[in-house]
Amino acid sequence: MAEIYKLNPETPQSRTVSQIVSALRTGAVMLYPSDTVYAIGCDLNSKSAVQKVREIKKISNDKPLTFLCPSLSNIAMYAQVDDVAYRLMKSLIPGAYTFILPTTKLVPKLVMNPKRKTTGIRVPNSSICSALLEALGNPIISTSAHVIESESDEFAPLDKLYPSQVELFDHFSKLVDVIIDNGLEPEYQVSTILDLTEIEPKLIRQGLGKLPDYLSR
């Protein structure tokens, strides 16, 4: 059974954050609240934990995984960012946006798209995520807590699969090692996805994050 840690959503308790980070460093997988939906995640550099995330989500190794970074300067360590992408990201983060970018050598192969060598990166507007990232010192995998158990689940929205926090926690209690409880009911709006691998940014999915007019048309 997963161990549940309670964190204040605005001012996460540093002692509890340290306990969670200690678990992540030893390969733990967690269910945690982001600024969009609850996510399944782990230390980016823990190969066994990343593989476990893929198994929980039933994601094959040729599908990239998104991860969280604490800042735009940190993104530049893990992705190739040109001037156009930099200016756009600077105007949007932190927030509910996922950026598809070409990777650098610091991104593990188990995380990226092996053919395109791209990955999804986020800088969330979340005090809990920021505290975890700062304490861990590494990016954190972030994939929505949407597990397909049957064909009917594939396109079911999260609020239909897990209508309450109790049902969400109950479902994942035997799948993950750590659950973070922020005392709030889950959010169900996903992030906006932008592909920044080409000269012109491309909107892949409109989610919670609002876009400039020239991109949202």
Mean pLDDT (whole number) for 89-93: 96
pTM of the model: 0.92
Domains of the chain, earliest start first: 3-209 (3.90.870.10)
Average pLDDT of the chain, as a whole number: 91
Q: Distance between CA 103 and CA 8 in Å, rounded?
A: 33
Q: Distance between CA 57 and CA 52 in Å, rounded?
A: 9
DSSP assignment of 128-152, as one string?
A: HHHHHHHHH-S-EE-EES----SGG
H helix intervals, 162-208? 165-172
Q: Which of 75-79, 138-142, 164-168, 171-175 has the lowest mean pLDDT?
A: 164-168
pLDDT the model gives residue 204: 94
pLDDT the model gives residue 182: 96
Angle formed at CA 158 by CA 97 and CA 90, multiple of 5 degrees:
5
